Chains A and B, each alone.
Chain A
Amino acid sequence: MEHLKGFSAVNLDADAAAAALEETLQQFGPVGQSRLATFQDALEYLLPIKSFTTRYVVMGLGEWSILLTDMRGANCYVEAFAISRARHCKAIGLFLQQKRRELHVFENERKVRQVQSLSDGNRWYFREEGVLQPFEDAEECVRRKKQDRLSAEALRHYFQTYTDVTIPDWKNTSFTHIFGLARCTKGLRVAVSEFETVE
């Protein structure tokens, strides 16, 4: 499922990460929280994918937690950044799609690295900010063709090196705890659209 190729992770266990995200979401109103047993439950909680974020899942992988949202084209990196600032922890966001590859890294309450390599209409878009991190391969950002920069393979390697956690293959990964969080949508002035689910 293409949507699962965009996610973030924070250096907190699932209970702490869910509590921090809940605090962040309370600015929009009451937050609904559910405990989910399996990844399949988490997927059913999130789907269908929508035009704007209404729900999140937080899935524990030891000292790290994965964040997913139900918004199309979103990987929770701003939420991971908010948690990182609130709890003084590391955070990382990724997109591993063929036409959208991104890296976002947050430490010490700051954004330390952001790299985007993606298709933008009739051109390929590449942008990088911050200094090259110790886990990065410098060559990934200087290849002549922009579309060859920041490969999905490199991103997988970066994630594993940075977190010491392998990117989950979702259905076969054993998560310690899974939480579902629903934010309040009362203040929205735009109707939220739902998209058809494609495996």
Chain B
Amino acid sequence: MIREWLVALVILFGAFFMLVAGLGLLRLPDLFLRMSATSKAATLGAGLVLAAAAIYFNEEGITARVLAIIFFLLLTAPVAAHMIGRAAYFDGVPLWEGTLINELRGHYRTSDHELVREAPPSPEFFIPEGKEGEDS
């Protein structure tokens, strides 16, 4: 009985974090902020829901499977977020107008996507930004 209520608590927390991830994806102002909501909150939510399943079934085989899924999610979510964020930056996805600093501006060579520390101010290092709300 106690275990069932523990499962209920953990699963509701997980579902809450998943809802927060969805709301963040819908409401935040630009792609990079949205990604910070989805990659962290959604991974935490999925991990909590999976942990709830492990507590509920309470068998070694299922716990091992659940731990494998959680480990895999923790391994892949940052890699996927990094890849898609990098691709979006090269694609010229506009930053939010309230962004204070863009430390990568003028440091990526557009021809081979190489990061150069001491880059000369030339159009070779300029990534054209798209317009806000422009579909592609």
Check if A and B associate: no
